[in-house]
A and B are shown apart, each in its own frame.
Chain A
Amino acid sequence: MFDYYANPARFMKLSGVLLPWVSGLTVILFAVGLYWGLFIAPADYQQGETVRIMFIHVPAAWMATFVYGYIAFASAVSLIFKHPLADVAAKSAAPIGAAFAFLALMTGMIWGKPMWGAWWVWDARLTSVLVLFLLYMGYMALWQMIEEPIQAGRAAAILGLVGAINIPIIKFSVDWWNTLHQPASIVKGGGPAIHSSILVPLLIMIGAYMVLFTALILAAMRAEILRRRVRNMRLAQAEGGYHG
């Protein structure tokens, strides 16, 4: 099955059919989630109205991690099966994951100001996301610096896997470092005793971000496949011009 759908032409056909439906679902989920989160969900008794920031902060942070996992998976497939579609998938996901990481940082900072009185307090989770964001930057830079797609794909796949192995170690080290320096860190939402009036809109928003990612990755992969076709045709054109 895997090999069947890994054919780029078939992917183009399938993604063309899926894309409008996924886009529609994204709009619906966002409408429901935003309305619920902004107007129905009650204010938290501890954090007050600022708890509403959680509905966009947690999904963004969650997606930033998820997308790196997706890149690592695609990297492994690329290295083992040498399939160009896996490279396309990994390359297209990187800017989207970086955008999610950026949003997790921005919303975390905006949340931190009323909570802690400072825009940035080197909280363990925010610091981990910051390092993750830097990993995305390096990964994207490597793609950009190597011009030949096959070679760039293999280099990026190696980096993607090395990064994926390192992420748990980085997370562990940052947590350790944080408990060392500020033992009393404020626990954000996401603890075990989260109330259902907040959990439901949060889950809807996470779903909305997931579906949005699906729509964006389908579109970005289509664009990347077309870009490679254009590149090949231009090479052919240059060759033809050279001989003729």
Chain B
Amino acid sequence: MNSFWAILRRDIRLAMRQGGGGGMAVGFFLIVVSILPLGVGPDLNLLARIAPGLLWVALLLSVLLSLDRIFHADYEDGTLDLLATGPLSLTLVVIAKMLAHWITTGLPLVIAAPVLGVLLNLDTQAFLPLMLTMLAGTPALNFLGAIGAALTLGVRRGGLLISLLVLPLYVPVLIFGVGAVNAVLVGPSPFGSPFMILLAITLVSAVISPIAAAAAIRLNLD
């Protein structure tokens, strides 16, 4: 278990030092949210109504953009080869790396979300539900995305391919994430039920994804 924490700490430290990861994703999140009103118009009522959906779609895109960082650097410099033959099972290595990636990119995005909500005139009572759903949903986005990132390791210019593979899998997370926030704002369903389903999706993806991603990494290593 020690090596699990070692990988986690190392990945977090590397992401902090490079600065790119979380900061870039948050920057992208900010840009997408700021250009959306330029596209749909500055009507505050309209913006308030579609804010949960806009924020969630912008979140999906920001997570998507950061995905190729999970494994790619370690794949190129051969660290993944070492980890795959090391004492820790590759599945646990993958979990550690996904967790580190979530802490360095997912969490900053969740923290930034309410600030961006202000830009879209999001109702104040929706701030807490928005952060809760994103806190519950971003791990699922990371888990599912890691499968795509692992599958495309050997592909040159895999970024576009990751989006094509992963975005359809994001549909349920998006629907229930936005659904839970909207439940607070307009009803009719209570916040609890879509939120519980969102948690269930996160748990399911937490089970599937490390196995699938580890298998995908292994096939790219031989």
Contact = CB atoms under 8 A, between A and B. Distances in A.
Is there any pair of Cβ atoms, one from A and one from B, under 8 angstroms apart in the complex? yes
Contact of A158 (B175, B194, B212): B212
Given A158-B212, A166-B169, A173 B164 contact: no
A162 interface: yes
A145 B161 contact: yes
Contacts of A166: 168-169, 172
A146 B220 CA distance: 10
B215 A170 contact: no
B179 A169 contact: no
A161 interface: yes
B192 to A, nearest CB: 14
Contact of B165 (A79, A142, A154, A180): A142
B interface, by DSSP: helix, strand, loop or mixed? helix
Interface string B187-222: 011000010010001001000100010011001100
Contacts of B154: 146, 151
A165 B172 CA distance: 12
Of the candidates B164, B166, B179, the one having the most CB atoms from chain A within 10 angstroms of its own CB is B164
A165 B208 contact: yes
A166 B209 CA distance: 12
Interface string B154-165: 110010010011
B16 interface: no
B164 A176 contact: no
Nearest to B167: A134
Interface string B85-127: 0000000000000000000000000000000000000000000
Contacts of A159: 147, 151, 165
A interface, by DSSP: helix, strand, loop or mixed? helix
B152 interface: yes
A228 to B, nearest CB: 18
Contact of A174 (B147, B167, B175, B208): B175
Given A142-B161, A155-B216, A180-B179, A162 B147 contact: yes
A158 B167 contact: no
A126 to B, nearest CB: 14
Contacts of B176: 173, 176
A131 B208 CA distance: 20
B165 A173 contact: no
Given A138-B164, A155-B219, A174-B175, A145 B152 contact: yes
B50 interface: no
B73 interface: no
B128 interface: no
Contacts of A66: none
A138 B154 CA distance: 16
A31 interface: no
A135 interface: yes
A173 B194 CA distance: 10
A137 interface: yes
A163 B169 CA distance: 7
A116 interface: no
Contact of A146 (B155, B175, B179, B215): B155
A122 interface: no
Contacts of B161: 138, 141-142, 145
Contact of B168 (A79, A154, A170): A170
Given A142-B161, A151-B154, A174 B171 contact: yes
B165 A170 contact: no
Contacts of B197: 173, 176
A138 B165 contact: yes
Interface of A: 79, 131, 134-135, 137-138, 141-142, 145-146, 151, 154-155, 158-159, 161-163, 165-166, 169-170, 172-174, 176-177, 180
Interface of B: 147, 151-152, 154-155, 158, 161, 164-169, 171-172, 175-176, 179, 188-189, 194, 197, 201, 204, 208, 212, 215-216, 219-220
13 contacts: A146-B154, A158-B151, A162-B169, A162-B208, A163-B169, A170-B169, A170-B172, A173-B172, A173-B197, A174-B171, A176-B175, A177-B179, A180-B179
